[in-house]
Each structure stands twice: as structure tokens, then as C-alpha cells.
Amino acid sequence: MDLQAFLHQQPPGYADTQALGRCLRALVEAGFDQLPLPGSGQTLARFQRLAEVGGHDLGLCKLYEGHTDALAIIQQLGGSPTPASTWGMWAAEPPQAKVRVTPSGQMVLLNGRKAWCSGAAVLSHALLTAWDDQDQQQLVAVALDQPGVIVTTDGWQALGMAATGSVEVVFEGAEAQAIGNPGDYLQRPGFWQGGIGIAACWYGAAQSIAERLRRHCAQRPEPHALAHLGAVDSALHAAAEVLRVSALAIDAQPTANAELLARRARAVVENSAEQVIRHVGRALGAGPYCKDRQFAQLIADLPVFLRQSHAERDLAALGQAVINEDWTL
């Protein structure tokens, strides 16, 4: 059975975190989380799988992307994930929430608060960034079913992406395992490669939203709707081409710094997704927002997920990076 068929057999999660957790576990048990690693020669297949899940349910995709990203990072840094586990990848570092790590024999102990912990209530493990006594960032792997891990209900009031349950987690002497060396999370090539994977999730959702307009125009080819469809198609085509080219570039140079590649890809896909949201809404009116549950959920979730981009701050960083670039074809 392929992934699409499998997903359509699963009950929709929508605003139910527990349902998303069950669906993620089903994906893991069926082996659909075993994606090619970035730079393995099959990076496009990885992006396509992420896009497929994004087009089905973005809440599920958020958990799926985090889980598959954590598996890739652990393998890249020489670790071995626990079999049949479900992982969060929690690396947000707002100033008010910081986790400290102290050595304890072969393990480390975690203390502090971690913000934006997607799926915390339904996952078995998490890979997260913490800080050692020299204020260096250290990746740690932690089992979540221990007394020193307290999943709160704080910090998450979203309507879009509500089911991800991206709450704050408090660690009080929780045992964890250090993964890699201090600084490895940001310094490894996979950091920016994974950032393009997020854009593939956005693309999958935008494509699914756009499909409603394509079907509408196939049945009722009205001029204004067709014009909107043309705009949507050009936006999606640009996004798809950027993702394909990015995958090829990663596979050609798997250890190269992919920051510029990722910033460009994310900017293009973000802009394309925003164009899709605008044009599809103007073409179809209120109908699918009110009568198509999957569409309504995607259209509510995608703007929230897109804000994993930092908008003009990311564009400014891209602008700085391209000052000395050659734009000649």
C-alpha cells in the first residue's frame, strides 16, 4: 500500500491531538517514517513524502516532519533511535524558556522549561536543544514517560495547527542522552537541508488547497476562476521546481553549506503558498471554507505553519547572503 492510500484509511485528526498521535504511530508501525536521508541521492523522494502528508493533514505533517527530522539527525550524529518510538524535534530557543544540561554518569540531567514542544502529550521521545555549563548548545534525547518530564498546557492557544499541541514542557532532573557534541545541531549540513523539508510540507498543503480550484474549473470553466487557476499553477510550478533543484543540489554536494539554498527555497515556497491561499479563496468564495472540512482545516493551518518562517527577517538574511552572488543564467 502506498502512503496516500494509507493516509486516507486513517480517521482524520483535525483538532484532536490524540488522534494525530495515533496516526503518527500507525505511520511508524507501517514503516512510512523510514525516509531517505538528506543527501543520500534520494532527497527528492524525502521531500515528496513530506509533501504528501502535508497535503493530507498539516497537523499530522508537523508531527511527522519532526519525527523524521529527529531520526535523520540522530543517524547523522552517530546515534541509534529507540525502535518503534515516536519523536519530537524541539529546538526553539525563546529567551523565557531554556533547558540546562548537567552530566550524570553516562547520562545527563535536564532542568528547565522548553517552549513550542509539538506533540508533547502523545510522543514517546524527544530530541531537543539544551545548554551546558559553558553555555554551549547540546542536543539531547529524552524519553518522555518519566517523572522528571512535566507536559503542561501552557503556551498554546492556536486555532490553526491546534491539534499539534505545541505546549511548554518542564524538565525537573529528567534523564537524557547527549547526542553528538556541543554545537553539532547547527553546524551539521543537515540543519539547512532539513529547513527545505519544512518548505516541502508547505508545498504539499498548498497543492491540496489548489486542487479544489482545479476541480472547480474542470466542471465550470468560468473566466475569472480560470485566471486564478493560472496564477495558482504558476506559483506552484515555481515552488515545485525550486524543491526539485534543491534536492538535486543537496544530493550533488551533501556536505556543502545549504544555507543560501534553503533560504531561497523557503522564500519561494512561502510566497507561492500565500499566493495559492489568496487566489483559491477569491475564486471559490465561502463554500469550501464552510462545507469542506479538510479544506477548511488546511486553510486554517497553513498560515500558522508558514510562520515558522520569520518573514522579512528571513528575507533580509537572504538579501545579505546574495549581495555577492552572480544571477546570470
pLDDT level of residue 38 (50, 70, 90 thresholds): very high
pLDDT of 205 over the 70 cut: yes
- What is the C-alpha separation between 43 and 250, in angstroms, rounded? 7
Nearest alpha carbon to residue 209 among 63, 16, 62, 56: 56
DSSP 145-186: SSTTEEE-STT---STTGGG--EEEEEEEEEEEEESSTTHHH
- What is the C-alpha separation between 180 and 1, in angstroms, rounded? 36
pLDDT level of residue 83 (50, 70, 90 thresholds): confident
Residue 13 is predicted with a pLDDT of: 58
13-42 average pLDDT score:
92
Residue 78 is predicted with a pLDDT of: 87
Residues near 211 by beta carbon (within 8 Å), at least 6 away in sequence: none
pLDDT of 278 over the 70 cut: yes
Residue 145 is predicted with a pLDDT of: 96
Residue 287 is predicted with a pLDDT of: 95
pLDDT level of residue 15 (50, 70, 90 thresholds): low
Which is more confident, 138 or 15? 138
- What is the C-alpha separation between 3 and 48, in angstroms, rounded? 11
Q: What is the pLDDT of residues 173-186, one digit of tens each?
A: 999 999 999 999 99
Residue 324 is predicted with a pLDDT of: 87
Residue 271 is predicted with a pLDDT of: 98
The pTM (predicted TM-score) of the whole model is 0.96
Distances (CA, A) of 260 to 78, 179, 226, 251: 26, 26, 35, 15
225-229 average pLDDT score:
98
pLDDT level of residue 159 (50, 70, 90 thresholds): very high
Where do the domains of the chain lie, and which CATH numbers do they carry?
88-182 (2.40.110.10)
| CA–centroid distance for 63 within its chain | 7
Percent of the chain with pLDDT over 70: 98
- What is the C-alpha separation between 212 and 207, in angstroms, rounded? 9
pLDDT of 14 over the 70 cut: no
Q: What is the pLDDT of residues 279-314, one digit of tens each?
A: 999 999 999 999 999 999 999 999 999 999 999 999
pLDDT of 123 over the 90 cut: yes
Residue 12 is predicted with a pLDDT of: 62
68: how many CB neighbours lie within 10 A of its CB?
25
136-150 average pLDDT score:
97
Residue 1 is predicted with a pLDDT of: 77
Which is more confident, 12 or 133? 133
Burial track 99-127 (b if 16+ CB lie within 10 A, e otherwise): bbbeeeeeebbbbbbbbbbbbbebbbbbb
Enter the DSSP assignment of 242. Answer: H
